Structure 1
Amino acid sequence: MASAPHSPLPVQLTTARPTVDGDHTGTHLGRAARRGELVRLHRGIYTDAERWSDAPPWERSTIATVAAAHRSPPPVFCRESALLLHGVSLLEPPRDVTVRTRRSPEAGVRRPAATFRRDVPPPHPLRHHEAPLPAGMSRPERRDALIRGDRGLEQTVLPPDAVPWCPGPEEGLRVEPLPLALLDTIPRMSRPAAVAALDSVARGSRLVDGPVGEEDLLAWDGFLRTKKARRRWESCWAFADADAESVGESVSRVLMDQWGLEPPQLQVRFVVDVDGGSRVRVDFHWPERGIVGEFDGLAKYQKPELLAGRRPEDVVVEEKLREDALRRLGLRVVRWVWADLRHPTRLRDMLLAVGVPFRG
């Protein structure tokens, strides 16, 4: 359960191409890869080995996805890779780059060549999926329609700077429409991962094309072909809440619901006596019990835009003063971190210890 990267450094992707003198840059790029200076992410597409090695897992997943957009012909991204490019918050960085294929023999995993340095993480595999089936069409009919050209792969084009720090090709990045990517992916996810993604969609703040509503999904509803997929989708969609402001908060909500705990109010404001009186907002509040809960991610201590010129240790002191002020209001405060979500019984015991009740 990782958090997204903060302020990524720019990434330079280099594509092999013919030169005016009849040579080909792929020869020189291949030699640089063998020397360990570059990493071949996909055929003919390279990046700096040190930059790739130093990048956190979230950045590497994004770099590998954008690099695949430079392939020829350009792929149509689907499932987790499509959600990533649409700006949806995911619980885990995708381990594969997921794209659509028009032909069934092409479905499967294409693993890139190994790197020439043991200390450099391997590139991400390219996983081809057949096109999703709409209602009323069989798989053979869908394949025939794609081969004949009667029906193309559903897609939209995001601008080249959809990922500003790792620019895509000039013609943009081809992805499945967000409603289709959601309907095709959410039923396949674990409930925590699905709710985290849909909470992000409900917020809409990080999405390239804005929030998605019921009306946006109606046109794609036929892609929920099985009762199981529909039940999972409807359950997660109904549970989604725009007030859950982070993946960690979303996972916490799911765990509380699974344990049968009373659902909290989200993002509640209090007036406290800090700096002469100020308003603070807490992640979770059980008003009848006088309990507030806070998921403490690392972003507030790492992201420059959230630090706003302060040192991380200054933020720690501010959080302590804020918590003390909440306690002076007579509130019981419980805080948890990612480690507690990785061992969820620890969080359950913490919540029960401060008096969070089960649903009545």
Structure 2
Amino acid sequence: MTSHPDDAPPLPIDRHRLILASAVLQTGQQAQLNRAVRAGEVQRVRRGVYTPVGADPPLRGAGRHVLTAFAAAAQRDDPVFAGYTAALLHGMPAVGAIPAQVTFLAGGASGRIRNGVIELGRRADTVVETIGGLRLTSLAEAVLEVGRRSPLVTALAMVDAAIGRRAEDDRRRSCTLDELVALLDRRRPFRGSRRVAAALARADPFAESPLESVSRLRFEEYGFPPPRSQFEVRLTDGRTARLDFAWPALGVWGEADGLGKYGGGGPLAAATVIEEKRREDAIRAITGWRCVRWGWRDAWRGVPLARLLLDAGLPTSGRSRRR
């Protein structure tokens, strides 16, 4: 920072790169903080909490939500993250609009909403875990709350990620669909339980990306027949190709992400595109099926994806059931 003399001590910054006005008051650096704010060297996260402005662009979306949650936690005694906030901290994907309010677990059975913070009432069976020094509700608990308050597309992406298979180097928590269903049944009745049930009814542990979750929802909304996920095809060279989606009886398979996921250019991207084309040709040589590729924009908007599937020959009921 340049808005204070070189011999001035740095402002106190915690492990989340936050500057608390209360800590600044204790060190007698209020004037230094005020100068830094006026100079644009620090920015306000919420009342009484600031963060340095670095060379990187300001955090947006999920990153901003988490930073705001850390700021709110710094002003609380024994904070326990919950709901959507806890789901993000568990590593779940953020699909759709990011809530402006952050979520914590209340100390008692009563909840409330105040100053941009949702406090969820604590239940007798609420499970609290400690991960990386943070206290938060269990993954199953967090995902259930997301399903209660969020749009179906948001909830389904998180449910799929929670129950999906993990790579060996993936240290995120996981849970099973049975655990989620059992927790839902144990908690019923509650407001939003039907929304949770709708997400669990559509869950697929074979989904490998949020885009696949969104795509499945679009298939249903536009009346296409349900596909088989991660369908395996044995190639002539002995390798097994796993297809994101397949409609074997209709002679169509789909690849979510398409070649757009190799954007950025360069020799490596070009080589990957070529390899994908060879893979597609090898699958077609065995199956004779038509391939459909799509990206995030196609699936999110819905209509472009529907047109691609129709062009490939997939039948539809013709009734859009947007949720």
Q: TM-score normalized by structure 1?
A: 0.69
Corresponding residue of 2:128: 156
- Confirm whether residue 334 of structure 1 aligns to residue 292 of structure 2: yes
Q: Give me the whole-angstrom Cα distance separating, in 2, the residues matched to 1:350 and 1:76.
A: 45
Which structure ranks higher in relative contact order (CA pairs < 8 Å, sequence separation ≥ 6)? 1
SS of match in other structure, 1:281: strand
Q: How far 1:284 sits from its partner (Å)?
A: 0.4
Q: Give me the whole-angstrom Cα distance separating, in 1, the residues matched to 2:290 and 2:64.
A: 40
SS of match in other structure, 2:27: coil
Q: How far 1:242 sits from its partner (Å)?
A: 0.8
1:79-121 CA-to-partner distances (Å, cap 9, x unmatched) read: 21111112222313634222345599994353xxxxxxxxxxx
Corresponding residue of 1:283: 244
Query: Quick one: which amino acid aligns to residue 58 of structure 1?
Result: A
Q: Give me the whole-angstrom Cα distance separating, in 2, the residues matched to 1:64 and 1:310.
A: 40
Question: Sequence identity, in percent?
Answer: 30
> Among residues 35, 52, 65, which one is paired with 2:69 in the alignment?
65
Q: 1:68 to 1:158 in 2, by over 3 A?
A: farther
Q: How many residues align?
A: 297
SS of match in other structure, 1:311: helix
- Confirm whether residue 229 of structure 1 aligns to residue 187 of structure 2: no
Q: TM-score normalized by structure 2?
A: 0.76
1:285-332 CA-to-partner distances (Å, cap 9, x unmatched) read: 1111221101116895379xxx9x973333223222322333333120
Q: 1:297 to 1:32 in 2, by over 3 A?
A: farther
| Cα-Cα RMSD | 3.6
Q: Give me the whole-angstrom Cα distance separating, in 2, the residues matched to 1:27 and 1:316.
A: 56
Corresponding residue of 2:103: 98
Asked if 2 retains the 8 angstrom alpha-carbon contact of 1:12 and 1:48, the reply is no
Q: Give me the whole-angstrom Cα distance separating, in 2, the residues matched to 1:292 and 1:102.
A: 50
> Among residues 312, 317, 322, which one is paired with 1:354 in the alignment?
312
Q: How does 1:37-76 map to 2 (within 5 A)?
A: 37-50=41-54, 53-55=57-59, 57-76=61-80
Query: Quick one: which amino acid aligns to residue 306 of structure 2?
Result: R
Corresponding residue of 1:311: 268
Q: Give me the whole-angstrom Cα distance separating, in 2, the residues matched to 1:298 and 1:51.
A: 32
Query: Quick one: which amino acid aligns to residue 85 of structure 2?
Result: S
Q: Give me the whole-angstrom Cα distance separating, in 1, the residues matched to 2:259 and 2:63.
A: 16
Unaligned runs of 5+ in 1: 1-10, 111-125, 135-150, 161-171
Asked if 1 retains the 8 angstrom alpha-carbon contact of 2:148 and 2:195, the reply is yes
Q: How far 1:249 sits from its partner (Å)?
A: 0.5
Asked if 2 retains the 8 angstrom alpha-carbon contact of 1:40 and 1:47, the reply is yes
SS of match in other structure, 2:249: helix
Q: Give me the whole-angstrom Cα distance separating, in 1, the residues matched to 2:242 and 2:117.
A: 42
Asked if 2 retains the 8 angstrom alpha-carbon contact of 1:203 and 1:243, the reply is yes
Q: How does 1:104-143 map to 2 (within 5 A)?
A: 107-110=112-115, 126-131=116-121
Unaligned runs of 5+ in 2: 1-14, 318-323
> Among residues 205, 218, 232, which one is paired with 1:242 in the alignment?
205
Q: Give me the whole-angstrom Cα distance separating, in 2, the residues matched to 1:42 and 1:297.
A: 40
